[in-house]
Chains A and B, each alone.
Chain A
Amino acid sequence: MAELLRRLLRSPQGAIGLALVLLVLVLALAGPALAPHDPEALSPLRRYRPPSADYLLGTDQLGRDILSRLLAGARATVLLALLATALGTLAGAVIGTASAFLGGKVDEAVMRTVDAVMAVPSLLLSLLIVSVLGRGAENAVLAIAIAFTPGMARITRSVALAVRQQDYVNAAIARGEGAGYIVLREMLPNVIAPIVVEMSIRVAFAVMLFATLSFLGLGAQPPASEWGLMVSEARRFMHLSPWMILWPAAAIALVAVGFNLLGDGLRDALNPRT
């Protein structure tokens, strides 16, 4: 683990990505404690304020401090998106690898099912799942995870097909190993690099999906300071105060860039040959 970290820090994108992601994680964990104001305190007299010494990032349409709201919303936004992505990735990776290993009819059946599910846009799919399961953060996480699974399965399978041809897999089959051992121990560790990269891109996407669900009233509910929700709310007041939409959007972008860089760095660090 220490070795992985050292390798990660050796590349500039790995170091910057790790720094950004750590910053975001610290904000997510300690955010509410760091907030200078009560994120929910309304002050009708100080609406649409630009950044000032008192309100570092300005105020929104109800006079709430945007900085405090961002800090308070980091947890809901980042951690849940991360959790959803991790769940979807894990499920997709196992399905994709197993499908590539088993091949033949099983592979065909799994992949055609995946195609069918992928034909439904992931937003629509998660909407459908949330409306069946009922609204709420946990169900939104589950919905996003399920929506991500087919895509991850497809990507993993394409990598796993190449790994399937490797002689160490043949050696394992010739040895008489079980399918579980081959999929989990021989193949999965060798497909991890592209999965990690794809996962890091999808974290940013999950943040957006969460925001959309919140916007449609199925995820976080209006008083909450979820970033995506803040963006959707601020759209209506953009001409009154551009800061309102700028800050949460910048925060989401920061998360996206951070995870992307970290993904690139991890890809190199995870490859034992570099």
Chain B
Amino acid sequence: MTAVLEVADYTLDYATRQGPVRALEDVSLSIARGEVVGLVGESGSGKTSLAWAIMRYLAPNAIERGGTLRLSGTDLRALKPAGLTAIRGKRLGMVFQDPSTSLNPTLTLGRQITEVLEFHRGLSPADAVREAEAMFARVGLRDPAAMMRRYPHEASGGEKQRVVIATAFACRPECILFDEPTTALDVVTARQILDLFRELQAETGVASLYISHDLAVVSGLAQRVAVIHQGRIVEQGATRAVFGAPQAEYTRALLAAVPRPDVRLTETVPQPGPPLVAVQDMTVRYGRPSLFRRRARGVIGASAVTLDVRAGEILGIVGESGSGKSTLARALTGLAAFEGGLAFEGRPIGGVRAMDRAYRRQVQIVFQHPDSSLNPRQRIREILARPSRLYGGEGDVGALLQSVSLPADFADRFPHQLSGGQKQRVAIARAFAPRPKLVICDEVTSSLDVSVQASVIRLLVELQRSSGAAYLFITHDINLVRQIAHRIAVMQRGQLVETITAEDLATRGPQHAYTAQLLAAVPRLDIGETPDDA
């Protein structure tokens, strides 16, 4: 087999004020025709830098230290801008992570693909339209002719990603780079996109580099896999060999960090007695009334949700984005107005105004993105000392940092001097500072790397055991929630479709069709089987 894409001993630095920082070191990789190579690594590992280096679109401060990049014999590094234009899109395609930002919002979906066809394949406008419609039909878009006339904001995330994929495949390139193409999508949609990718790949035989942090996805797609860590490829080989019998320490750690629904992490049991929080028919509408618009046209975020959380219980809430799970968190913390009943320890809370200091103290929230939940202008000390200043009580910042396994001297740092996982630990410490009875975790691990995610989950489980607080654990990762939750509530389009104990889910299986669909869509890390039936 001759390699279509060949990267040999490629080394890349980024010039920074502190001197050059190595992004890639002696990276060697080759992809043959018809092959899918998975590139697995965590954020900052250099996987996206490699993709940009192959596309010849490097940041201005990038310094190439050596190595070769070849596409079917063409030396990519030697190409002049004109030569690059001829190659990009035509012989070398790329699919990005977020379809909502990779399409031009001012062009129709049809125009974005016909432009490529006219430019690279020299088709006449009429032929390009015909070809584009055929491509749209091929990628499974319903009513391709109508879709051609739509703008990106008129299409769903899954449809947009299909358009991007259609564009990438349109010129029948030799090689396509996929940079986390399903990360920004919902589980069910991601599953469909992965199926589409597998079909198109088999049909066209394009050499594909599939970049992802998700080992389960890669294990189901790639014949060969390369594991990248801090700019070096630590292990490379057949997918089954690498994931089945990892040689490198780092690969083993990565594999160990993948959530496995059959391994339970929580040992505690919820306390019997009346529920800590009782939510009765809670409905949340979005849209603020303004001076000129009396009543906002209410978009319903959550509709007639009834659930309760007992003291010391971990209640998992799963669902796709837009299912209303975060809306519930916003309503419980007073960030969104709600209708319906809410009672905390038997005390009815009529609305946002009735949430007094005592309630606020007992109910704390940890957000998804630690970057935005910590004020960038405040030092960690100030951030952690605030709850005790607000609610009273002792505020030992050092002890708080210690409780989340961070060194005490972090107190004088700013958030941007911490890594994502460390920031999330600070956010967790802040939530636990006033000794709350309910902690709402809103997708707390989804912006973190796999290995960091595992350690944050361990920390949360440990804190739950020592503090006895109840969790409302909101996530889209059903595998994860099965590991830690006592009960799982499944939400879809603002409604609660099913509440089931983790035990029942494991033994009796899902009761509702949507839960079954969610479970089926989750990619599984398969080590022993062939990649085809992932």
CB distance A103 to B360 under 8 Å? no
Q: Does B291 interact with chain A (Cβ within 8 Å)? A: yes
A174 CB-CB contact with B under 8 Å = yes
> Which segment of B259-267, B338-346, B366-374 sits at the interface?
B366-374
Tell me, in angstroms, the Cα distance from A108 to B289 when the chains sit together.
10
Tell me the interface secondary structure of chain A in the complex: helix
A239 located at the interface, meaning its Cβ lies under 8 Å from any Cβ of chain B in the complex: no
Nearest Cβ distance between residue A12 and chain B, in whole angstroms? 14
A72 to B427, CA, bound (A): 56
Task: Using A170-B373, A175-B387, A190-B375 as known contacts, list a sample of 14 further A-B pairs with CB atoms less than 8 Å apart, ordered by residue number in A.
Answer: A10-B17, A103-B288, A166-B372, A167-B367, A170-B333, A170-B335, A171-B365, A174-B333, A174-B360, A174-B363, A175-B386, A186-B375, A189-B377, A272-B414
| Closest chain B CB from A106 CB (angstroms) | 9
Q: Is A223 in the interface zone, CB < 8 Å from B?
A: no
B417 to chain A, nearest CB (A): 9
- Grouping DSSP codes into helix (H, G, I), strand (E, B) and loop, the B interface class, with mixed when no group exceeds half, is loop
Residues of chain A within 8 A (CB-CB) of B386 are 175
Q: How far is the CB of A54 from chain B (nearest CB, A)?
A: 50
In the bound complex, residues from chain B placing their C-beta under 8 Å from that of A109 are 291
A residues less than 8 Å from B369 (CB atoms): 167
Which B residue's beta carbon lies closest to that of A171? B373
Q: A168 touches which one: B364, B375, B390, B414 (CB < 8 A)?
A: B375
- Chain A residues with Cβ below 8 Å from B427 are 171
In angstroms, how far is the closest chain B Cβ from the Cβ of A40?
A: 49
In this complex, the member of B289, B368, B375, B414 whose beta carbon has the largest number of chain A beta carbons within 10 angstroms is B375
Interface residues of A in 13-36 (CB under 8 A from B): none
Known: A104-B290, A175-B386. A272 touches B376 (CB 8 A): yes
Residue from the list A176, A185, A272 in contact with B355, Cβ < 8 A: A176
A272 with B416, Cβ < 8 A, contacts A168-B373, A175-B386, A189-B377 known: yes
Asked if A175 and B335 sit within 8 Å, CB to CB, the answer is no
Q: How far is the CA of A108 from the CA of B290 in the complex (A)?
A: 7
Instruction: Report how far A176 CA is from B365 CA in the complex, Å.
Output: 12
Instruction: Check if A235 is an interface residue, CB within 8 A of chain B.
Output: no
Partner of A108 from the list B17, B292, B367 (CB cut-off 8 Å) is B292
Report the Cα distance A105→B289, complex, angstroms. Answer: 7
B67 sits at the interface (CB 8 A): no
Residues of A participating in the B interface, judged by any CB pair closer than 8 Å: 10, 103-105, 108-109, 112, 166-168, 170-171, 173-177, 185-186, 189-190, 272-273
- Check if B357 is an interface residue, CB within 8 A of chain A: yes
The reply to whether the CB of B205 lies closer than 8 angstroms to some CB of chain A is: no
Q: Which of A104, A170, A177 lies in contact with B390, CB distance below 8 A?
A: A177
Smallest distance from the beta carbon of A102 to chain B beta carbons, Å? 11
Q: Is the CB of B390 within 8 A of A176?
A: yes
**With A173-B334, A173-B335: A167-B290 Cβ-Cβ less than 8 Å:** no
Quote the shortest CB–CB distance from B441 to chain A (angstroms): 13
Contacts of B390 in A (CB 8 A): 175-177
Contact between chains at B367 and A170 (CB < 8 Å): yes
Q: CB distance B360 to A171 under 8 Å? A: no
Q: Contact between A273 and B376 (Cβ–Cβ < 8 Å)?
A: yes
With both beta carbons as reference points, the residue of chain B lying nearest to A104 in the complex is identified as: B288
Among A112, A174, A190, find the residue whose CB has the most chain B CB atoms closer than 10 A.
Answer: A174
Closest chain A residue, CB of each to CB of B427: A171
